[in-house]
A = this chain, B = another copy of it.
Amino acid sequence: MSVPEVTPAEVYYPNEPAAPSVQTAEIPGPKTKKALEELAEVFDARCAYFVADYDKSVGNYIADVDGNVFLDVYAQIASIALGYNNPALIEAAKSDRMISALVQRPALGNFPSAEFADILKDILKVAPKGQTKLWSGLSGADANELAFKAVFMNYQAKKRGYNTSFTTEEETSVMENAIPGSPELAIMSFERAFHGRLFATASVTRSKPIHKLDMPSFHWPKAEFPSYKYPLEDNEAANKAEDERCLKIVEELYKTWHCPIAGLIVEPIQSEGGDNHGSTAFFQGLRDITLKYNSLLIMDEVQTGVAATGEMWAHERFNLSPPADLVTFSKKFQSAGYFYHDPELTPNLPYRQFNTWCGDPTKMIIAGAIAKEVVEKDLAKKISVVGDYLYAALAELSKKYPTEILNLRGKDRACFIAWDSPSPAARNAFLVNMKKNGVNIGGCAETGIRLRPTLTFGKKHADILIQAIDKTLGEN
């Protein structure tokens, strides 16, 4: 027998707990409740599950102020890449470069630092295939809206000529928010998509009413995203027909929408909207249609990026040709922005894609450090192996609980795995009860349960997770 492999968690976290530890009968516990009462005086604290003690959190375990320690497969809404108190990130956080970027936050567009090109290059080392440049923002929603700006500016530039000046009429009308300076153009998105909660991004977000209610919106088109039958291998013909049906809707919208559709935004896996997967054929079809209708393709990798699915970028599996026009990122990279490659996606004039800060070097330094760790520790491959193990165990467990674990999905997508509960009430109870059994776990859509562990999640963590699920469902 071979020597047992040392896992990434063992390398980083010699003091990681061996198991969760639940101290309070109820979650949230009494100390969290007291802390939240205080917080609620100044901040909207109603969404808090518990108040965390980050000093006591290690690796894949998050501690709360009541002394509970949870195995964390939610990881700050799919954001923590390497685990809590990661030594490589602590080193980056203590670096002179970081301290300088914190103390004198630069207006990166006007006064970049001498180190800025290097900071960018550390990120670009792991850029999606075919992407060579980036523009930086501050959140996933911000990244997507910046991408929309690039798309709209490019659409009009193609129409008027990249180096053609604006007309006086354009410059005058835009100040009135009127055509032609402020053109009527659209971004297409999909039912159940989530791309953010600012106004343009909320207009393309179609996951839940609560994300959008009472906000004015742009009248932009919504296509349908495939709804596959599971298991995939038993439903190939039906799922192929579903791809074709959805692609036809996309094409029909391009033909009939009342204004030009300058871009299409899509997640490689619809995440908030329920972990809905699309096939390679579907995404290649989208690439073909966007090319045919002179529309740019934005891949929203905010939740799927940075090795979460076992490839550095989930959409790289689709082998799109030409590559996606823009790829947005955030969450696991801490930093946010979009990658691109066409020089004409840099607007024809300066100060068009611009703002005071143009991103945040402190977050980019963290992103660069994460990228380095992912590559050096081969985390994409390692999390894939763990994911295969976890998926197989879940598939086995779904036989024991065939009415509780439905539509298991995420095979060959590392630990980016989800399933459905039989009802929203069952799902919500499951999430609560899992915390009582020591696991912090998240939902998506109405009945989905999604796994979003760190990239240092290992087989030993998977075993604990499986045991907790078994225990929780067994208590029903």
A-to-B contact residues, CB < 8 Å: 35, 38-39, 41-55, 57, 62, 65, 76-80, 84-86, 89-90, 92-94, 96, 98-107, 109-114, 116-117, 120-121, 124, 132-136, 138-142, 145, 148-149, 152-153, 155-157, 166, 170-171, 174-178, 181-186, 196-200, 203, 206, 209-220, 222, 330-331, 334, 346-347, 349-357, 362, 366
Q: Which residue of B lies closest to A103 (CB)?
A: B89
A366 touching B209 in the complex, CB below 8 Å, given contacts A47-B350, A357-B139: no
Indicate if the CB atoms of B44 and A350 lie closer than 8 Å. yes
Report the bound CA distance from A366 to B79 in whole Å.
23
Chain B residues contacting A124 (CB-CB under 8 Å) are 42
Report the bound CA distance from A153 to B214 in whole Å.
5
Indicate if the CB atoms of B135 and A212 lie closer than 8 Å. no
Chain B residues contacting A55 (CB-CB under 8 Å) are 96, 100
Indicate if the CB atoms of A47 and B138 lie closer than 8 Å. no
Q: How many copies does the complex hold?
A: 2
A110 touching B183 in the complex, CB below 8 Å, given contacts A117-B38, A217-B177: no
Chain B residues contacting A156 (CB-CB under 8 Å) are 213-214
Report the bound CA distance from A115 to B440 in whole Å.
21
Indicate if the CB atoms of B98 and A102 lie closer than 8 Å. yes
Report the bound CA distance from A105 to B101 in whole Å.
17
Q: Which residue of B lies closest to A173 (CB)?
A: B209
Indicate if the CB atoms of B79 and A210 lie closer than 8 Å. no
A93 touching B85 in the complex, CB below 8 Å, given contacts A114-B35, A114-B53, A198-B200: no
A201 vs chain B, min Cβ distance (A): 9
- Name 8 A/B residue pairs within 8 A (Cβ), A-sorted: A35-B114, A41-B132, A43-B136, A44-B135, A49-B110, A49-B111, A78-B356, A93-B103
Question: In the complex, which of the residues B47, B136, B142 contacts A198, with contact meaning CB atoms closer than 8 Å?
Answer: B142
A121 touching B42 in the complex, CB below 8 Å, given contacts A181-B209, A209-B170: yes
New contact pairs (20) apart from A52-B113, A171-B213, A210-B349, CB-CB < 8 Å: A35-B117, A39-B117, A44-B109, A44-B346, A52-B106, A76-B110, A80-B105, A89-B102, A90-B103, A93-B103, A105-B334, A139-B356, A149-B197, A152-B214, A170-B209, A175-B212, A176-B222, A177-B217, A198-B199, A210-B351
A76 touching B103 in the complex, CB below 8 Å, given contacts A114-B35, A142-B139, A213-B170: no
Indicate if the CB atoms of A48 and B218 lie closer than 8 Å. no
Report the bound CA distance from A363 to B89 in whole Å.
18
Indicate if the CB atoms of B177 and A218 lie closer than 8 Å. yes
Q: Which residue of B lies closest to A149 (CB)?
A: B215
Report the bound CA distance from A100 to B117 in whole Å.
26
A102 touching B93 in the complex, CB below 8 Å, given contacts A216-B184, A217-B182, A356-B77: yes
Chain B residues contacting A354 (CB-CB under 8 Å) are 47, 197
Indicate if the CB atoms of B112 and A171 lie closer than 8 Å. no
Chain B residues contacting A98 (CB-CB under 8 Å) are 93, 102
Indicate if the CB atoms of B76 and A104 lie closer than 8 Å. yes
Indicate if the CB atoms of B100 and A94 lie closer than 8 Å. no
